[in-house]
């Protein structure tokens, strides 16, 4: 029988640390980052820290399991760029079993040498018990107990990672090629690792529809593995293309960067921070002369709300922003990473480098941009100015994704228009507004039957917009949300969008109506979902929706007989006075 584990909430009191420093003659500032279960907290800074550093701060963590590990990283610095760090890990088995624990644990430097100790106390409150993070429980219950290899023929290995392997596969019924990321559940030993997989799937569903984001086609899970079926990108990594060519022309670099930054703008508009932007995470769809670029690997990405601050250092050293090194950052860090990519595209090497992580971080914090060495004298001033705006060390004055797309270099020679890109949610709501009442009701039915993994991103967005937590969005709340994302609309247009999304006519847009109005078109077009929606209106299940059936189904919406006749006339292609399944599907798929 699999060992039981407990899940619940954890309060950690960081008491003190001692003997972390050798040279007592130098004044240092010190702080500690406490992390567990995908959440990190930064302590107060102890100014002029001595031999013993006292904090006496308590931090709260949700969804902690007995398999989780508490991580402590102490950082000491003379100046913002001159810092040293040391760390320790605390297993939570005893705290989760007994309800509390108090420990003094050895702290290790970067070379693994013990240099002192940290004093911590913990209080745990259980909320549930289970069989383990991957034993006896499904990681993704929506896709549980499904056999991937019934639908796909396994091919060659195209990639390997820490937790699994990616294969090129062929779909048996269509002979189309895809990539399948096979993740070994045996290697997921902590709840944090399980949650990383769950979050990656939810974010990929949430970002679906953008032409330059790799599409998650299907998900399977059996007793041993999770399978993520995605677009097969056979053109190789952007990084390899850069190495092969040495450098890109400004025209080539501009085209690539518009794609990369548009992906970042889409992520930010959808409430997602990427946190691991680098050339290796962009693949070419094929080996044609002008291949489509696809963004992959959202394993370090996270949902966020405007103003949210992250504290954990993630990403590849060459591409992290200064505020990431300082452990206090937001979505602006993604733009810094884009600036590093653009710099590399134009010269072939990163702007900030060093022999090790510490040296790289020092360069990121202090080194000036080099625009004197070859080939920079040959690069245009607008290109260099665009890079300066993206690699501004102050995140508050750094260019946003939208501002970067509007920069004169990005739209030089008519390559890019000056028109602002619309939020995906705003675009979806405009399309929803144009639909008839039958299509809107059908969209609500489909939205109501979508798996949680596919809509949790939209749920996060709804919560962020619904600032008074009333369960409904007013026109004013929607307008404020648009302004925070850099999209302003006239008051009457905002009111019209909310009114059109308000299917039940109560004056606001509730959660179900918001889902129906904002889900991506691709989610409305799946055959199994269209059948569920059609059968809701086809009351006698004879394959056609009649005038009477439509009137009965829409009775609560206040649509009169003339309105019903208008809907049927709009959708009924063969003129028989009814809506058959094919006509219904054409209506739902019509953009």
Q: Is 181 among the annotated ligand-binding positions? A: yes
For 117, the enclosing helix (H) or strand (E) is strand 114-130
DSSP 552-583: HHTGGGT--HHHHHHHHHHH-SS-SSSEEHHH
Whole-angstrom distance, CA of residue 187 vs CA of residue 171: 27
Beta-strand pair 52-65/225-231: unpaired
Q: What six digits make up the tokens of 6?
A: 């407990």
Count H helices, E strands: the chain?
Answer: 20, 21
> Do 421 and 270 contact (CB within 8 A), yes or no?
no
Overall size of the chain counted in residues: 591
Helices 437-448 and 561-571 meet at what angle, rounded to 10? 80
Q: Quick one: three-class SS letters along 394-412?
A: CCCCCCCHHHHHCCCCCCH
Cα atoms in the Cβ-side hemisphere of radius 13 Å centred on 482: 26
Q: What six digits make up the tokens of 118?
A: 């940290």
DSSP 204-273: HHHTTT-TTB--EEEEEE-SSEEEEEEE--TT-BHHHHHHHHSS--HHHHHHHHHHHHHHHHHHHHTTEE
Alpha carbon distance, N-terminus to C-terminus of the chain:
53
443: Cα separation from own chain's centroid: 24
Query: Which of 118, 113, 207 lies closest to 456 in space, CA to CA?
Result: 207
Catalytic, out of 101, 196, 231, 276: 276
Whole-angstrom distance, CA of residue 44 vs CA of residue 307: 20
Whole-angstrom distance, CA of residue 446 vs CA of residue 459: 15
Whole-angstrom distance, CA of residue 372 vs CA of residue 296: 34
Query: Which of 192, 185, 189, 188 lies closest to 62 in space, CA to CA?
Result: 192
Place of tokens 């009924």: 572
Task: For residue 250, give every residue at least 6 positions away whose Cβ sits within 8 Å of its Cβ, in sequence order, or none.
Answer: 346, 379, 380, 383, 409
Q: Buried b / exposed e across 278-288, counting CB within 10 Å, b at 16+?
A: bbebbbbbeee
Query: Which of 572, 440, 573 lies closest to 518 in space, CA to CA?
Result: 440
User: Is 131 a catalytic site residue?
Assistant: no
Binding site for ATP: what residues are annotated?
181
| Residues with catalytic roles | 276
């Amino acid at each position: 029988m699999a060992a039981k584990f407990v899940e619940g909430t954890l309060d950690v009191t960081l008491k003190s640390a001692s003997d972390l420093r050798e040279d007592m003659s130098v004044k240092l500032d010190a702080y500690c980052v406490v992390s567990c279960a995908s959440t990190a907290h930064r302590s107060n800074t102890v100014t002029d820290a001595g031999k013993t550093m006292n904090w006496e701060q308590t931090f709260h963590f949700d969804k902690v399991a007995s398999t989780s590990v508490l991580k402590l990283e102490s950082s000491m610095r003379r100046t913002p760029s001159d810092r040293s760090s040391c760390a320790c890990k605390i297993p939570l088995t005893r705290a989760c079993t007994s309800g509390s624990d108090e420990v003094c644990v050895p702290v290790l430097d970067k070379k693994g040498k013990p240099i002192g100790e940290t004093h911590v106390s913990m209080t745990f409150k259980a909320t549930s018990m289970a069989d383990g993070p991957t034993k006896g429980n499904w990681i993704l219950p929506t896709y549980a107990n499904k056999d991937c290899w019934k639908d796909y023929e396994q091919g060659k290995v195209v990639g390997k990672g820490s937790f699994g392997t990616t294969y090129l596969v062929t779909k048996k019924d269509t002979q189309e090629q895809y990539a399948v990321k096979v993740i070994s559940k045996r290697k997921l030993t902590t709840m944090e690792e399980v949650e990383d997989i769950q979050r990656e799937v939810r974010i990929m569903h949430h970002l679906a529809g953008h032409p330059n984001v790799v599409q998650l086609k299907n998900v399977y899970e059996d007793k041993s593995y999770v399978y993520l079926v995605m677009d097969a990108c056979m053109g190789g990594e952007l990084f390899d293309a850069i190495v092969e060519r040495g450098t890109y022309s400004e025209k080539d670099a501009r085209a690539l960067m518009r794609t990369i930054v548009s992906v970042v703008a889409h992520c930010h508009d959808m409430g997602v921070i990427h946190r691991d932007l680098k050339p290796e995470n962009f693949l070419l769809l094929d080996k044609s002369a002008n291949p489509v670029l696809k963004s992959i690997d959202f394993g370090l990405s996270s949902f966020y709300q405007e103003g949210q601050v992250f504290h954990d250092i993630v990403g590849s050293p060459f591409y992290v922003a200064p505020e990431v090194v300082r452990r206090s950052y937001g979505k602006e860090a993604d733009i810094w990473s884009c600036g590093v990519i653009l710099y590399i595209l134009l010269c072939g090497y990163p702007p900030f480098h060093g022999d090790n992580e510490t040296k790289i971080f020092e360069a990121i914090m202090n080194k000036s941009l080099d625009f004197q060495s070859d080939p920079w004298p040959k690069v245009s001033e607008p290109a260099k100015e665009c890079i300066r705006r993206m690699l501004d060390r102050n995140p508050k004055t750094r260019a946003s994704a939208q501002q970067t797309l509007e920069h004169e270099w990005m739209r030089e020679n008519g390559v890019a228009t000056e028109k602002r890109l619309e939020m995906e949610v705003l675009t979806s709501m405009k399309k929803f507004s144009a639909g008839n009442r039958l299509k809107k009701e059908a969209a609500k039915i489909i939205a109501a039957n979508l798996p949680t993994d596919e809509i949790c991103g939209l749920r996060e967005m709804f919560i962020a917009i619904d600032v008074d937590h009333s369960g409904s969005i007013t026109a004013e709340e929607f307008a404020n949300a648009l302004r925070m994302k850099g999209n302003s609309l006239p008051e009457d247009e905002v009111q019209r969008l909310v009114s059109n999304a308000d299917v039940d006519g109560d004056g606001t847009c509730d959660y179900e109506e918001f889902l129906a109005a904002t889900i991506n078109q691709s989610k409305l077009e799946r055959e199994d979902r269209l059948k569920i929606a059609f059968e809701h209106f086809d009351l006698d299940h004879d394959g056609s929706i009649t005038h009477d059936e439509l009137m009965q189904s829409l009775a609560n919406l206040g649509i009169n007989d003339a309105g019903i006749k208008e809907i049927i006339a709009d959708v009924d292609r063969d003129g028989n006075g009814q809506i058959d399944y094919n006509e219904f599907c054409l209506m739902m798929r019509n953009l």
